[in-house]
Every structure is written in C-alpha cells, then in structure tokens.
Structure 1
Amino acid sequence: MSWLGKMIGGTIGFALGGPLGAVAGAAFGHTFVDKKEKAYLSSRPNIHGSGFQRPGSQQYGSQDTLSSNEEAQLVFFTAAFSMLAKICKADGAVTENEISAIDTFMKRDLQLDFNSQQTAQNIFRQAVHSSESFDAFALQFYSVFRSQPRIIELMMDVLLRVSAADGSISSREETMLLSATRIFNYSDTDYARLKSKYVKETNKYYNVLKCDESASNEEIKKQYRKLVTEYHPDKIESKGLPEEFIKFANDKFKEIQEAYDHIKKERRL
C-alpha cells in the first residue's frame, strides 16, 4: 500500500477529517484533524437521512499528498479496523476468539506484512478507546463507498465474521450490525443470507449465491452469472483498492464458484 509508507514517513499532506481522521491521526502520530473536525460534525446527518456530506481535504505544507485511490484505500483500511474495534468492544471486552478472527483476517485474507499488521493493530486500539461511535465510522466509510455495493458487502462480511467468532452474535453486536445495514442501505434479505454463513450451516451454498433452495435451475444459473460478473477480479481491481483487499474480494469470487459447483453437483446440472 503506497499510502502506508507516506503515513509512516510523516510526509502526508492529505487530512481525512472526521472520526476516521482522528483515529488515523492518533495511530500514525500525525495531527490530521483540526478545523476540519468541526466541519465534519456540522455535516453529520441522522442515519435515516438522505445523505452524508463529505468534508474537503486540507493541506498542511507536507511534501506529499494522497491520490484519490490512495485516499479510498486509507478510508477502507481505517474504517474496517475501527468498526471491528467497536464490534469487539460491544460486550465490554475484546475476547480471544475475536482477536483470533481479526488476526486471521489480517494474515490470511488481507495478507498484510508485519508493518501493515502493526498499523492495523494501532488503528484498532485507538478506535477501541475512541469516544466516537460505530455509526460515526460507518457513516464516513459509506460517504466514500456508497456507489460500490460489492465493497460494502465485503465490509459487512468481515463485520459478521468477527461478530460470530464466539459462536453467536450478541444482541449488542446485532444492534451495531443492523445499524450498519441501515447506513449502508444494505437489504434485510442480503443481511440474513450473509449472516447465515456464520451462525448456521443450513443452506450455506444457496446463501452464498443469494438464492433459496426452491429456486429453479435457471434462476440459480442467472444469479451465479450475475455474482461472478460483479466480483470478477478485474472489476474489483478497477475500484482502486490495495492488493490486500483485492485478494479478499478474490476469495469471495472463489467462494461463489465453489458454491455453484456444489449446487451443480447436487442438482446434477
């Protein structure tokens, strides 16, 4: 991630602002938010409102700036570990199972190197103790990725995975997850299907394809083709995410393929 070197080196000229800027600033030891924080707070809507006004950037006389793609990468990275921090702290303490799930997410899914893992952990720790809410982080994430439903689904996937790491999803965790679905405009049906991947095994393969067992063969084929197109590596890569997150999306692509292969074999298609 090219933006990460700029952050660690202290040469960054772009300031995120808002709650994510505050967390990132504390994690990297930079002062990202100043006047911009006031601008962000004045623009925050009710989560049921029509939109979110994204604060502008500000230069601090640094040697370097972030490109638009690097900016999106920074938002995704910071938002992911900030929201995970709030989810894990929902029941009062971060459990070993939750730590293990996040560790797996960093190493296996994102394949982060040691320095990137340390950065993610710093962001996580800062967010755990931040006075900002889960909703505040989710709103700022959505302001950047509102037009990219596949990226939103990937975020919901990891939030659910970590929430279910203890074998079930608590009522407080569920409250945050449902709040995320409202902020992200993520449908209840999609949420139920995604959740079923982690809280039960029934209909697992149909849930991956977002189909019911009663769906016809043609409906299943149509849905498979739709998802394969949406999660194709080339299409995901064009969104400007870093390689680590593209790998995560590619795993989703493989999951879709495996689910369809299983159903084909089961139905003898």
Structure 2
Amino acid sequence: MKWLGAFIGFIFRGLGGAVLGFILGSILDRLFSSGSSASGGSIFQTQNTKVTPNDFELNLLSLASLVIKADGNVSQAEMDYVRMYFVQAYGKERANATFRTFNTVVKNREVSADRVCDYLRPRLSYEVRLQVLHFLFNIANADGHVSDAEVAMIQRIAGFLRVGHQDFESIKAMFFKSADNAYKILEIDKTATNAEIKKAYRTMAKKYHPDKLQHMDEAYKKGAQEKFTKVQEAYEQLQKERGI
C-alpha cells in the first residue's frame, strides 16, 4: 500500500507527493496488518519476501507514468488500470516490488521516453512492442476518453520503439469510432477492393494472432486477444457493408 501511495503521490505532486503518499500508505499498511494479525496472519507478509522486478516491468511502468501525466489530468481510473494490469500480469507480490523499485528510481531522475525505449526496443519482438502500445492506449482510455496529449505521447513512444506508422494508426483506431476506422484497423484505404480487404484481414489476423504472445504472461495474452478480436470485428463490419 505504501509503495502504491508513493507512486500515486509522485504522479500527482512529484517527489513531495511521493513522500506524503508513502507516509499515508504506511499508516494504512499498519492498520490492515494489525487487523489481519488478529485472525492469525498478516496479509502483507509478501513484503518480507525477496522479489526482484526485472527491467522490462520497470521500464513498462515508466512508459505508463508518461501517458498518465501526458494531459496534466491524472485519472484515478488510469492509475487503477495500471495497478490491475501489473497484478494480473505478475501477481501482487511482484507488482508491489515493481512499484517499490520504480518509486526509488524516479526520485533520482526524470523518466525519459527515448531512453526507456532505447533499452526496450532491441530486447522486445515487434509483436510485443505492438502490445506495449495497446497497453498504453488502454491506460489512456481507462477514464473513457483518450486525449490528444495522450495520443501524442503514445505516438512519440511508438516512434522511439520503431513501430510503423500504419501499425500505430491500426491500434489507435481500435480506441476511436469513425467512419473509416475498420479500414484503418486493417491498414487499407477505403478504395480497397474486396479481394484486397480479404488479403488485409488475413495479414492482420496473422500479425495480431494471440499465439504470437504465448510466451508472455496472461495479461499480455488477453491484450493480444483484444487486438485480434478488433481485427475480426473490422473485417465483419466491412463484410456487411459491402456484402462480401
């Protein structure tokens, strides 16, 4: 709790907020710990377990913090989404360790998108980099609206990760409703023939197939399935519109 409080405090108020969040979280930790001790054990026993987050988790959290702060309007829904995602992907114990280490790191330096991406890019497959963008858009959309500033930040990150413009626009279109978003998701123009639409669907279904991320944790597999479903929905929409 205290490390999550420190992270949230940093997002809102910088270093001073991190310190205050840490103090408040520590108080809550003691309250909950004492309550659970009465029933035979502490729910915070994992704090004494040696769990070390790896660099991927820390750098992913760094990118998340950049998106959360992009529009100057820090949303609790966005914070909750990041927390939920990390717990689902790595478990509560490891997620707590990641937030704790991240809080220590950000006290000493500003998060730099280009430096983070320079580290991640050569270490991640292209499919995983696409999933990172999808994760960042989900954060921005957690409060029900993706702002222009958030889009600009994610596009900047996409550039640093060397994600192609069409792939960026495809993932972006999954979060915006427009007359041509089905075409954008499939990375084709509205003038495409029926044969080109079918070919584009096969290509995108292969690119976004969940099997591409079978080696990743469950949260990433879920994200891959979401992208794959959006591709299927886009194709089905065009099938209906054109009578394919």
The bucket for the TM-score relative to the shorter chain is 0.5 to 0.7
> Does 2:196 correspond to 1:216?
no
1:169 to 147, 150, 162: 147
Is the partner of 2:175 in helix, strand or coil?
helix
1:99 to 58, 69, 79: 79
The 3 A distance-change label for structure 1 pair 254 and 126 is farther
- Answer yes or no: is the 8 Å Cα contact 1:85–1:125 preserved in 2: no
2:113 to 127, 131, 134: 134
User: Partners in 2 of 1:199 and 1:127 — Cα distance?
Assistant: 34
> Does 2:64 correspond to 1:84?
yes
- RMSD over equivalenced CA pairs, Å: 3.1
**Residue number in structure 1 paired with 2:132:** 155
Deviations 1:72-104 (A, max 9, x none): x94443322221012212344632232244356
User: Partners in 1 of 2:135 and 2:162 — Cα distance?
Assistant: 17
- Answer yes or no: is the 8 Å Cα contact 1:197–1:208 preserved in 2: yes
> Does 2:93 correspond to 1:118?
no
> Does 2:178 correspond to 1:198?
no
How far residue 182 of structure 1 moved from its aligned partner, in angstroms, is: 2.3
Q: How many residues align?
A: 191
What amino acid sits opposite 1:254 in the alignment? T
Is the partner of 1:77 in helix, strand or coil?
helix
How far residue 159 of structure 1 moved from its aligned partner, in angstroms, is: 1.6
Q: How does 1:179-194 map to 2 (within 5 A)?
A: 179-194=156-171
Structure 2: any 5+ residue segments left out of the alignment? Answer: 1-51
User: Partners in 2 of 1:200 and 1:77 — Cα distance?
Assistant: 31
- Answer yes or no: is the 8 Å Cα contact 2:131–2:220 preserved in 1: no
> Does 2:220 correspond to 1:245?
yes
How far residue 229 of structure 1 moved from its aligned partner, in angstroms, is: 2.0
What amino acid sits opposite 1:141 in the alignment? L
Question: Which structure shows the higher helix fraction?
Answer: 2
Q: Which has the larger radius of gyration?
A: 2
What amino acid sits opposite 1:242 in the alignment? D
TM-score between the two structures when normalised by the length of structure 2? 0.63
Is the partner of 1:198 in helix, strand or coil?
coil
Structure 1: any 5+ residue segments left out of the alignment? Answer: 1-65, 67-72
User: Partners in 2 of 1:106 and 1:265 — Cα distance?
Assistant: 38
Percent of counterpart pairs with the same letter? 25
Is the partner of 1:235 in helix, strand or coil?
helix
The 3 A distance-change label for structure 1 pair 135 and 175 is farther
How far residue 219 of structure 1 moved from its aligned partner, in angstroms, is: 0.9
User: Partners in 2 of 1:127 and 1:159 — Cα distance?
Assistant: 21
TM-score between the two structures when normalised by the length of structure 1? 0.58
What amino acid sits opposite 2:92 in the alignment? F
Higher relative contact order (CA 8 A, sep 6+): 1
What amino acid sits opposite 1:221 in the alignment? K
What amino acid sits opposite 1:229 in the alignment? K
Deviations 1:36-83 (A, max 9, x none): xxxxxxxxxxxxxxxxxxxxxxxxxxxxxx9xxxxxx94443322221
**Residue number in structure 1 paired with 2:239:** 264
Is the partner of 2:122 in helix, strand or coil?
helix
